[in-house]
Each structure stands twice: as C-alpha cells, then as structure tokens.
Structure 1
Amino acid sequence: MNLTYTDAVAKETAPIFEILKDQYDPEYWETIAPYISEINRLKQEKNAVILAHNYMTPDIFHGVADIVGDSLALAREAAKTDADLIIQCGVHFMAETSKMLCMDKKVVIPDMKAGCSLAESITAADVKLLREKYPGVPIVTYVNTSAEVKAESDYCCTSGNAVQIVNALDSDTILMIPDQYLAQYTQGHTDKKILTWEGSCEVHEKFTAQDIIDFRERYEGVQVIAHPECPPEVLAEADFTGSTQQMIDFVEGEKPTRVVLIAECSMSDNIA
C-alpha cells in the first residue's frame, strides 16, 4: 500500500511529530506519517485497540498505540476495553497473555516470528522434568514464557513482583524459571532457597559492569537504572533496579538530569 503525505495528514500527525521531532527528521517523517494516519483510521473502523510494549519504537509507541506498558499491564488494560480486536505490538508470549485475559476478543500479532530468547529457553516438557527432579517444590514462572510453560507452573510472577510472590509462598525452597538473573536478583531479597533454570534475555545479558563504569566516567553525575534480567554484577553497579514500568516511574519521580537505562534501546527514546 502506497500512501501519500498530504496537508491533511500533516495536520493530523503534527502533534505526534512534535513529540518525535528529535528522533525523526522531517523527510523520513513524511514517509511514515501517512501510515500512522491510516492505522489510526482503521482502528476506528475495526473497533480495535493497539497495545504497545515499552520497548516498541517511538513511532508505534507515540503514534498509534492506545495502551502502553509492560506485558502484564497491557493485558490487564486490554481486558477493560470494549474493543472487538486487540493488536499486540510485542513478542509472541505477550499476545498469548493478552488472549488469556481477553478470551472474548480477537487478539492478533503483526509478526508471528516475533520471539523472545528468554521465553524460548524453556519448554513445557522441561517444566515437567523439573517437577520430577524437585517434587513438592513450588514452581514460580516469569510471565515472559509461553502459555504451555505457564500451564505447567504453580505461580506466575513479573519482574516487578517476583520478590513479593516468592516471600508470600509457604515453602523454604522455590524453583524460579526461566530467567537465572531474575532468580539471582530475587535470591538477594529473600531468605528462601531459590533454584533456577539457565535462561536469559540475549539483550540484557550483554551488558557488563564495565559498561556502567564507562558511562559514569563519560557522563558526570549520571543515574544508572537496570532491569533485573541483567547479570548480578551489572545490578550491583546500578543506582536502581526495576521492571520497565518501575524504571519509568523512577525517571518521572526522581527527574534525574542524566540517566542511563540498562534495557532495550527504544525504551529510552520513548521516555526521553
């Protein structure tokens, strides 16, 4: 579909461009603005809502999304809408989670190949084997997993409530899957014994403590906030650790002059 940048499109999308003008030059904006306009028109026609994860690119996050947030928050908010169609801008497990909470709605994902290295690190068969290996041990599963894996688990948690979930359980030993780093982070905030799986996010595990040291040397007074999917040595160097929403709340609440987000790159663009 070839769409044209008209005066009407320019007027309609001007408020969005005002937000994004530091990230998109005018020439490129003229190529994407018509699509933003058409998507927003189709949403009205189809009675659809678009969910965009905090990691989405700014044109999606600010241009067409109706609801933004972390994966669980998106699904919860979607369940409150009267939309017939939910479009999930995120990875596959996010669309599954939305469908679980919106069984009466049609949920679609633009790219069926949109995957997550963490979610793909474990299968339902793996969970069954773990249950055999650790009989009686509660299995707490990160929501960044497939529906099949969740179905074999006892509890689900987010990066924001993992510590609270674990501390609320009546067991001295907990099996947390699949993120080894979230499990290690949780271990540092509980007296319970945490067993884990060697899964990880291929993005967050790339960061190192030296990266943070370098940032501090380069930008005097910078605040560093990191996601708990990062390795423990990275979290030890950070000023604050939290989920994507907790990171946003930190920036909005503390209003640091300079901040480095140890997370997906588009997130910093969206809250700049």
Structure 2
Amino acid sequence: MTGTLDLTPLTGVEPDQAWRDEVLELARQQDAVLLAHNYQLPEIQDIADHTGDSLALSRIAAESDAATIIFCGVHFMAETAKILSPDKRVLIPDARAGCSLADSITADELRAWKAEHPGAVVVSYVNTTAAVKAETDICCTSSNAVDVVASIPADKEVLFLPDQFLGAHVKRVTGRANLHIWAGECHVHAGINGPELAQRAADNPDADLFIHPECGCATSALYLAGEGAVPADKVKILSTGDMVTQARATKASTVLVATEIGMLHQLRKAAPGIDFRAVNDRASCRYMKMITPAALLRSLREGRDEVHVDADIAARARGAVQRMIEIGKPGGGE
C-alpha cells in the first residue's frame, strides 16, 4: 500500500460543526459505525463512535449491529475488520493509508521462510496483511505475544513476524532459543531511539515511562531500569490499549510516552490531570494522518473506499486470529 503512490492527504474541509453534523447524519442514514484508531487526528478520534487499537476496534465492529463499518486507520486494520465481519460493508476513508510494518513482509516471502523451516509454527503480529495472516498459524498482539509463544511446545521452532523489536521483547521474556525473528519494523516506532529516551528520562526523573514494544527504545528502557538509571517500577512496556488503562492508574504527575504521537490525545482524555509528553514529538505516522476530515466526508458521501478480502484468504486468516483470542490475554490489540 505504501509504494510510490501520491500520499498527499485529502484536504479542503474544516472539522467544524457543519462537518460534524453532516458526518453523523450520513453515518446514521447508512447504518454505519465510525471507528478511529488511537493514532488518528484528534478531530477524527473525537467524532468516532469508538476509539481504540486495531483488534479492539475490529472486535467492536464484529459485535456491532451496524451494516457498515467506517474504519479510520490503516489498510490492514480495515482488512482485519472485514475478516471478522465478512457480511458487513467495510470502508476505509483513504485506501492509500498503508503501513510500513505490514509492508515489511509479503505472503510470498513468508512462504519462502516457512520452506526454510519446515514444521515451524508461524506467529504473526496482527499488524500484517490478510494474505500474511492466511499463511499464519496463530496471530498475536503486543499484549499477548509472550503468552502466545509460551503456549507453543518448547521443541517447536517459531517464526515470529514481522516486527523485530516486539520479537526481541518476546525472546527476552521467554528465553526461547528457537524463536526466529523477521527483520521488519514500523518506521515511526523504530525512530524512537534509546539515547533519546535516556535523555528524556534524565530530564524527567520522576516520570513514568510508557513504552510500546515496537519501539527501538524498548530494550534501552529495560537496560536503564536494570542499571538503576530509572526505577524499574516506572518502566512499563505496554500496548496502546494498555497505555490507556495505565494512564488511569498511574500515580506519576508526568508520563513519557514512546509511541506514535496520536496516542497522547486519548491519554490526555483518560487522565487530564497528568502531563503526558512524547519521547519523540516527531513520531507521527503519515499514513494514519491520511484519514482527514475531507477523506472521512468523501467516504460517507461516495462510499469510498470499500475493503474486500478474498473469501478463502479471509477464512484462513480468521482461524489465525481466533486462535490468538483463545490464548492468554488478547488485550486490545497492537
């Protein structure tokens, strides 16, 4: 999805009251539920019926009585909603909204990797395309990746994909030597680095650290804790869904957040008395930000862009997702 497309966001519409009124009325007329990922623009998050991470939103979509799902996120997320809700119409306001992490492995590449490790169990992060999920034995989220891998017999090789930082976290926690990790990454999370985190932590010694395991700084955060540079109880490796839960529970007055900056909007809403600060305030996903007020309005007016998943691929992918949900804590999602 991310290739050489023109990725200029659709503009020209102000998110004013008239926009809100039209969006909500069109959604009502079309029996549509509006879903927004935590990394979306604040105005998109605020008009949504539900805001959360991708798996949580896909499960909400599957349980909803609405005939149409408007998924304000990136393409693999809308695919997952379609996989879990095959009989519903699923729209993504801008189909160009891809994902560098999902694009870091193709189904053909996965099949070749599997051929090199016959009998290995394939564990795929939910941040993958439907075609990759269809080649997967079991999916995982960042919340339950450790539990999923731990559920696999110890003598079985495991192929973990596509995120190398989440994979390193799982390998560190499980101590599993026969876990092979694909060298993929989210370009935004990978850019949140260890030295940056160390400096921000030194400047804010009383702050909690909320670290997404996709981040390049996750290992550094645990190293800082191990060396005593940061109290261990202040370092929390969390999915985006778990960040909201922890925001309501923390006793800290300041929290440093290592993930895409759109997450700060939900955290500030969840705990308005806390000072949430981005570890890297440039960590903004251009693909997430392609779902603009203009794109959302166009989608509702014109039925753009509908998401389709081949029935056979969807059925195979659905099995991998369902097996994930049966193991450990599925959490919200990524």
Correspondence for 1:270:
266
Letter in 1 for 2:68: L
Query: Aligned with 1:188: secondary structure?
Result: helix
1:105 is aligned, of 88, 108, 123, to 88
1:53 is aligned, of 10, 21, 37, to 37
Gaps of at least 5 residues in structure 1 are: 1-29
Q: 1:209 and 2:209 equivalent?
A: no
Instruction: Provide TM-score, normalisation by structure 1.
Output: 0.85
Judging changes above 3 Å, is the alpha-carbon distance between structure 1 residues 39 and 127 closer, same or farther for their aligned structure 2 residues? same
Correspondence for 2:142:
159
Letter in 1 for 2:41: T
Aligned pair count reads 243
Aligned pairs for 1:70-89 within 5 A: 70-89=53-72
Moved more, 192-201 or 138-147: 192-201
Letter in 2 for 1:185: H
Check conservation: 1:208, 1:233, Cα contact below 8 A. Answer: no
Query: Aligned with 2:263: secondary structure?
Result: helix
Letter in 2 for 1:109: I
Correspondence for 1:227:
212
Percent identical among aligned pairs is 40
Q: 1:196 and 2:185 equivalent?
A: no
Q: Deviations over 1:195-231 (max 9, x none)?
A: 0111001011111122122212333411111100012
Correspondence for 2:169:
185
Query: Aligned with 2:253: secondary structure?
Result: coil
Tell me by how many angstroms 1:255 deviates: 4.3
Distance 1:190 1:219 in 2: 31
Check conservation: 2:197, 2:221, Cα contact below 8 A. Answer: no
Q: Report the structure number with the largest CA radius of gyration.
A: 1
Instruction: Provide TM-score, normalisation by structure 2.
Output: 0.70
Correspondence for 2:241:
245
Distance 2:62 2:142 in 1: 21
Q: 1:68 and 2:51 equivalent?
A: yes
Correspondence for 1:258:
254
Higher relative contact order (CA 8 A, sep 6+): 2
When the two chains are superposed, the root-mean-square deviation of aligned CA atoms in Å is 1.6
Moved more, 238-247 or 72-81: 238-247
Distance 2:15 2:171 in 1: 48
